[in-house]
Amino acid sequence: MSIATDRINLSAPWIDERDEELVLEVLRSGWLSLGPTGPRFEGLLADAVGAQHAAAVSSGTVGLHLCMHLVGVEPGDEVITSPYSFVASANCAIYMGATPVFADIDPHTFNLDPEAVEAAITPRTKALVAVDVFGYPAEYDELIAICERHGIALVEDSCEALGAEYKGKRLGSHGHPAVWAFYPNKQMTTGEGGAVTTAGEGQHELLVSLRNQGRLETSSWLQHGRLGFNYRLDDLSAALGIGQLEKLDRILEARRSVAASYGELLAGVDVELPLADDENHVRSWFVYVVKLPADVDRDAVMTRLSAEGVATAPYLPSIHLQSYMRELYGFGEGMLPVSEDCSARTMALPFHARLAREDQERVAEALARVIPGV
């Protein structure tokens, strides 16, 4: 079932009666936090990505922050990440008093270029935050090898990639900690929310303690064994997460089919379409981002599409050029040319699991009018 609308929005969550039923059940139980629903959600999530453990948290951002604790990032350390990502991938380093170091990206996958990562390593490098941008898996064989060679911890920012596969295995099952996010524009949502999946028992215990004010498994409510945070996910959100996970395969399939329709409809328009899957990379469709020709004014295209009722977004600005980054570190244009070029030319189109075919046709027709065919 799809929904056709006058204004075509960028994203929309898929909420159904089963989700409502699950949330209502928790609401009526009166057990709104630290009840049995959280662990049920975590078990389903761990199974869905093939990880041993899942720790639900209140957002993807705090999941990344906890991972910085997990791998021991300290003030003065450097953390390498992608400039072509959401700001949280870099902010997590700053929260620790560490410095984010950006390595440039591949112009087609939009993910970190392993050679650039290796070139960015210094004696102060403590961790790499690899991002699976737009749901496309990063180059894990190369990145893991680099991390092992240099004794660097790897954290995977999979916030945009639930259900994606690298070399035939779902992201989250490759051994290193992976972070997930469930804001309503994501493949599945819990309202706000996130999770960290891990392979090791010790890492999971630490995450569970850190998100719950540093309580230890053995301690009572007002005993705190370490400095922690309140990064818990409440049970209402976890209940919604269960409903979403129950239909995750359907969600992913529907998104794949909407992406395939765009592929057909945009074939004659002069834009670079998202990279197709190959034997090592299976994308989980998060957003549908096209790259415009270098001589096209992207912002003018967005304005014209908006006038035709088509929402778009300039996905993604380069993080190092955000004003606070320039102020903090003196970053500027020209530092990361590939990322900067992608940032100037990429644009997200309306995309969600139940986007109607006729709305996609309207988007494609509008885009074809604005950007003449080849």
Ligand X SMILES: Cc1ncc(COP(=O)(O)O)c(C=O)c1O
Residues forming contacts to ligand X in the complex (CB under 6 A) are 59-61, 85-86, 88-89, 131, 157, 159-160, 181, 183, 194
Contact 183, 60 (CB under 8 A): yes
Q: Residue 144's closest CA among 155, 159, 157, 136?
A: 155
Least CB distance from residue 265 to ligand X, whole Å? Answer: 26
Indicate the residue among 8 and 88 with the shorter CB distance to ligand X: 88
In the complex with ligand X, the residue whose CB is nearer, 89 or 198, is 89
Q: Which is nearer to ligand X, 248 or 367 (CB)?
A: 248
CB-nearer residue toward ligand X: 54 or 88? 88
Q: What is the DSSP-derived secondary structure letter of residue 273?
A: P
Cα dihedral sign, 304-87-274-108: positive
Decide whether 88 or 251 has the Cβ nearer to ligand X. 88
Bridge-partner residues for 163, per DSSP?
none
Question: C-alpha angle 233/237/239, rounded to 5°?
Answer: 115
Residue nearest to ligand X (CB): 60
Smallest gap from Cβ 218 to ligand X, in A, equals: 31
Least distance from C-beta 365 to ligand X, angstroms?
A: 29
Adjacent-strand bridge partners of 199: none
Q: How far is the CB of 182 from ligand X (least distance, A)?
A: 7
Q: Are strands 169-170 and 165-166 parallel, antiparallel or unpaired?
A: antiparallel
Q: Which of 9, 18, 2, 274 is nearest to 160 (CA)?
A: 274
Query: From the CB of 209, what's the least distance to ligand X, in Å?
Result: 21
Shortest separation between residue 177's beta carbon and ligand X, angstroms: 14
Quote the least distance from Cβ 109 to ligand X, whole Å. Answer: 14
Angstrom CA distances, 245 to 19, 44, 196, 250, stand at 10, 7, 16, 10
Helix (H, G, I), strand (E, B) or coil at 373: coil
Rounded CA-CA distance 4/357 in Å is: 8
* Residue 88 or 269 having the CB closest to ligand X: 88
Of 59 and 203, which has the nearer Cβ to ligand X? 59
- Spacing of C-alpha 257 from chain mean position: 20
